[in-house]
Structure 1
Amino acid sequence: MLGLSAATLAGYLAAIVVLMLTPGPDMMFVLANATRYDARAGAVAALGVAAGEAVHVAAVVAGLATVIAASPVLFTAIRWAGAAYLIVLGLRALRGTGRTGPAAGGPDGGASRAFRRGLLTNLLNPKMILFSVAFLPQFVRPDAGPVAAQLMLLGALFVAVQLTVDLALGLGAGRFARRWGDSRWSRRVDRLCAVAFVALGVRLAAG
């Protein structure tokens, strides 16, 4: 596989799994959609997050992410935009915690907006830009083939693992909420996710 050793790929996959299991904006967004609406909304949110990460990977391959990371003004603008988006998302969620179920998000249970919001949640996270720039190249081996092809492969594996974890979370949480959850449980999860969004936004703004 492009000359990359099995040990390198195994270490890379292990690192990805650990990172994917660490709570962050993407995971909280998928969980919020799944518990507030349904499993379908959680799955669509996961697809949106994965699409955002695919854009980050493409930017790394094209060299754009390095340019953004090297520009303090541009990076700061993205950081503030991401922080504002997370805080607004959290405040809106707090304001609407009393409304759960499909009616709260329209006829399709919120899935129509889940993809777009998942995409924005990932794209407006400047830490994902730095992560992509700093993390992926560590596993590139100059003697293993074209660097761009290696980055594309590593990036595709990253997106695949992220999508698998987020889909499992979204589908599992959505089905659990539908089968065992009551309105009080759903509201508690809503509030937890909403507070987490605001806290993550404040932390991002603080640098």
Structure 2
Amino acid sequence: MDIGSIISFLGTAILLTLIPGPDNLFVLAHSISNGKSSGISTTFGLCTGLLIHITAATLGISAIIYQSALAFAIVKYAGAAYLLYLAYRAFTANDTTLNVEKKGSLSFKSSYKKGVIMNLLNPKVSLFFLAFLPQFINQSYGNITYQMLMYGIIFLIQTLVIFTVISIFSEKVGYLLRKNPIISRKINIIQGSLFTLIGLKIAFSQK
């Protein structure tokens, strides 16, 4: 692995991470609704899922899922169903005033678990790594498995940094929204709508 390849990979990874997708929208929704602590713990959960996906891609497990239409469909629809369930919980939440202190107390464990489940139930993440990582592999350096794993870790670290920044700024946006009584009553609707959008996007996605 030479420095030029690493810089090229890192630049591409940052651009891909910044493009609106299921994971960063999920962090955005949690941070606006529950504060940066929830967003950051959700980020750790998502990154734990990424680590598993990276390992799976490195070992070739993702290729097996990709070749099995049934396995792919089961994971995909399970992920969509989970997100629609979260959307339902948001839409039917009794607390519509969104008191900052109360929402900020959402446990790290709860947000972390949601992040892990959300990421693991999106089969396209593993397939993404399976297609993306090999593009930067140089066979002349040998040990392809090691190279894929290292690139995966680089991707994971930059994701952790970017999602943490998103969490911090999203909390500020959420605070400003809560200061408006009309908008504050609709935060749950905004969160539920985002979860619905992500769930439907995963449900109707193709390989």
User: Does the TM-score normalized on the shorter chain lie above 0.5?
Assistant: yes
Change (3 A) 1:55 1:153: same
The whole-number CA distance in structure 1 between the counterparts of 2:48 and 2:78 is 19
Partners of 2:96 and 2:184 within 8 A in 1: no
Distance change >3 Å, CA 64–CA 150, structure 1 → 2: same
Q: Give the match for residue 25 of structure 1.
A: 22
Aligned residues: 202
In structure 1, the residue matched to 2:125 is 128
Q: Is the counterpart of residue 166 in structure 1 residue 163 in structure 2?
A: yes
Structure 1 segments unaligned to the other structure (5+ residues): none
Q: Give, in angstroms, the shift of residue 52 of structure 1.
A: 0.6
Q: Does residue 190 of structure 2 align to residue 195 of structure 1?
A: no
- CA shift, 1:102, in A, is 4.5
Shift of 1:184: 4.2
Out of 13, 20, 35, the residue aligned to residue 16 of structure 1 is 13
Are the aligned partners of 1:60 and 1:132 in contact in 2 as well (CA < 8 Å)?
yes
TM-score, normalised to structure 2, is: 0.88
- The answer on whether the counterparts of 2:22 and 2:198 sit within 8 Å (CA) in structure 1 is yes
| Shift in Å, 1:204 | 2.1
SS in 1 for 2:20: coil
Output the aligned Cα RMSD: 2.1
Which residue of structure 1 aligns with residue 203 of structure 2? 205
Partners of 2:57 and 2:127 within 8 A in 1: no
CA 1:129/1:109 → structure 2, altered by over 3 Å: closer, same or farther?
A: same
Contact 2:58 2:130 in 1 (8 A): no
Q: Compute the displacement of 1:78 (Å).
A: 0.5
Structure 2 equivalent of residue 155 of structure 1: 152
Report if aligned partners of 2:177, 2:183 keep a CA contact under 8 Å in 1.
no
Which deviates the most, 20-29 or 42-51? 20-29
1:138 CA drift (Å): 1.1
Aligned-pair identity (%): 27
Consecutive unaligned residues of structure 2, counting only runs of 5 or more, are: none
Matched, 1:65 2:66: no
Give, as a single letter, the amino acid of the residue that structure 2 aligns with 1:73. L
C-alpha displacement of 1:58: 0.9
User: What is the alpha-carbon distance in structure 2 between the residues aligned to residue 94 and residue 145 of structure 1?
Assistant: 52
How far did 1:202 drift?
A: 1.9
Instruction: Please give the per-residue CA displacement for 1:76-100, whole angstroms capped at 9, x wherever unaligned.
Output: 1001101111111122112227152
CA offset at residue 11 of structure 1?
1.8
Shift of 1:191: 2.6
- Please, what TM-score do these two structures have when normalized by structure 1? 0.88
